[in-house]
Amino acid sequence: MVTSVPTKNTQVVLNERPKAGPITDTTFRSQTVDIPELKDGEVLVKVTYTSLDPTQRGWINDTRSYLPPVEIGAPMRSNGLGRVVVSKSDDFKAGDLVQGLINWQEYYVGPAQSLTKKQVPEGGKEIDFLGLFGMTGLTAYIGLFDIGQIKDGDHVVISGAAGAVGLTATQIALSFPKCKVTAIAGNPEKLEYLKKLGAHNVLNYKDEDFKKQFKNVGLIDVYFDNVGGAILDQALAQIAPYARIVACGAISAYNADKPTPIYNYFNVISMKATWKGFIVMDHAARFKDGITYLADLQKQGKLEYKYHVTEGLDTVVGTLQDMFAGKNVGKTVVKVAKDDSDKSKL
Ligand SMILES: NC(=O)c1ccc[n+]([C@@H]2O[C@H](COP(=O)([O-])OP(=O)(O)OC[C@H]3O[C@@H](n4cnc5c(N)ncnc54)[C@H](OP(=O)(O)O)[C@@H]3O)[C@@H](O)[C@H]2O)c1
């Protein structure tokens, strides 16, 4: 079969930096550009799936962070998967599955060395490289084990528990026979699902009496924080001696003008707690162990993984907005290429 080489590329680029608040319909715009000629060492990749992540909201702010801000006019940065169409690199050939920062666009053209070759394991599916065995699954693993130092018998509280990271973290904690697990999320359907998975307490942070409900679950040994803000503040008020607070994310602040003040930080001192931030990409040396662990948990039937998938590059902006509105359960992914054969395995 002869694959024709594309000449045009549709991209979703950053149009303007949003002020505080959610992204709007003018934050991004679509454009079609010519595909440049490949240089030595470069590849042309057809993007199949792009990952949507809360951290992308931070990447479009002009502030100091773990990655530089996306430039105005540049394709939106995004982790994704694709198939090599043309290669001018000795390390890749047409048809190879690759992963990397291949952005919101139909085709990636760039240095092959910035991509990683992937092989779907027997019985596995491509999309898992963005979810269960990708950054979000590994964030849950690193967060609970390396940062949270989870041990059997702990009371583990997880916010954002029905999202990509939270769902995995909740089920890892539930796999410890003596751990008590409290899962916090934003709607009754999510709570029902978390209960079905085995969470001992499920709390809706939008309930009027949430504070009271949260207080009733008792002292916390590990708080896996995906959201920051008022939920974090209350968790700090309830930490047990030697508690571990896993500073994973703060989605409640990503759209805010100013983060919510934290009043109970002094409990970190009096309870001799550890409050530690991390960025999963710094823990690459642990990824192999993490993938083995998660695959094993899945084989044992103790880890159910969900994807929230939309189709077409034109859905990226709306799907990112939906994620901030809590419409996803599990990992949010956009299927960019229309003819990908992995669809049946979603
Ligand atoms: N440190 C790292 O290396 C690392 C890596 C990956 C992700 N993260 C962080 O981990 C967190 C979860 O990421 P994810 O990819 O798994 O996203 P996700 O949980 O799949 O999606 C975001 C969820 O956040 C909840 N949410 C939105 N606004 C909220 C608010 N104001 N207060 C409380 N909850 C809110 C929504 O669920 P509800 O319906 O429950 O509101 C939404 O579904 C994010 O903060 C992300 O930045 C960190």
Rounded Cα gap, residues 226 and 131, in angstroms: 16
If you measure from the C-alpha of residue 160 to the centroid of ligand 1, how many angstroms do you get, rounded to a whole number? 5
Task: From 172, 251, 276, give the residue whose CB has the most ligand 1 atoms within 8 Å, as the site to mutate.
Answer: 251
So what's the pLDDT on residue 246? Answer: 98
So what's the pLDDT on residue 344? Answer: 38
**Residues of the chain under the 50 pLDDT cut:** 1, 340, 342-346
If you measure from the C-alpha of residue 53 to the centroid of ligand 1, how many angstroms do you get, rounded to a whole number? 8
So what's the pLDDT on residue 257? Answer: 86
So what's the pLDDT on residue 124? Answer: 82
Task: From 223, 227, 255, 309, give the residue whose CB has the most ligand 1 atoms within 8 Å, as the site to mutate.
Answer: 227
Return all residues near 20 (Cβ < 8 A) that are at least 6 apart: 255, 256, 257
Cα 75–chain centre separation: 19
So what's the pLDDT on residue 3? Answer: 61
First to last CA, the chain: 26
Domain architecture of the chain: domains with CATH: 8-131+305-345 (3.90.180.10), 135-299 (3.40.50.720)
Which residue's CA is the nearest one to ligand 1's atom 29?
Answer: 252
So what's the pLDDT on residue 339? Answer: 60
Residue 189: C-alpha distances to residues 8, 196, 307, 328 (Å): 42, 11, 16, 11
Which residue's CA is the nearest one to ligand 1's atom 43?
Answer: 326
So what's the pLDDT on residue 343? Answer: 45
If you measure from the C-alpha of residue 227 to the centroid of ligand 1, how many angstroms do you get, rounded to a whole number? 6
Rounded Cα gap, residues 321 and 73, in angstroms: 20
Identify residue 302 by its one-letter amino acid code: K
So what's the pLDDT on residue 33? Answer: 97
Rounded Cα gap, residues 60 and 72, in angstroms: 9
So what's the pLDDT on residue 171? Answer: 98
What pLDDT, in 10s, does the model give residues 68-120? 999 999 999 999 999 999 999 999 999 999 999 999 999 999 999 999 999 98
Read off the tokens for 88: 């001018």
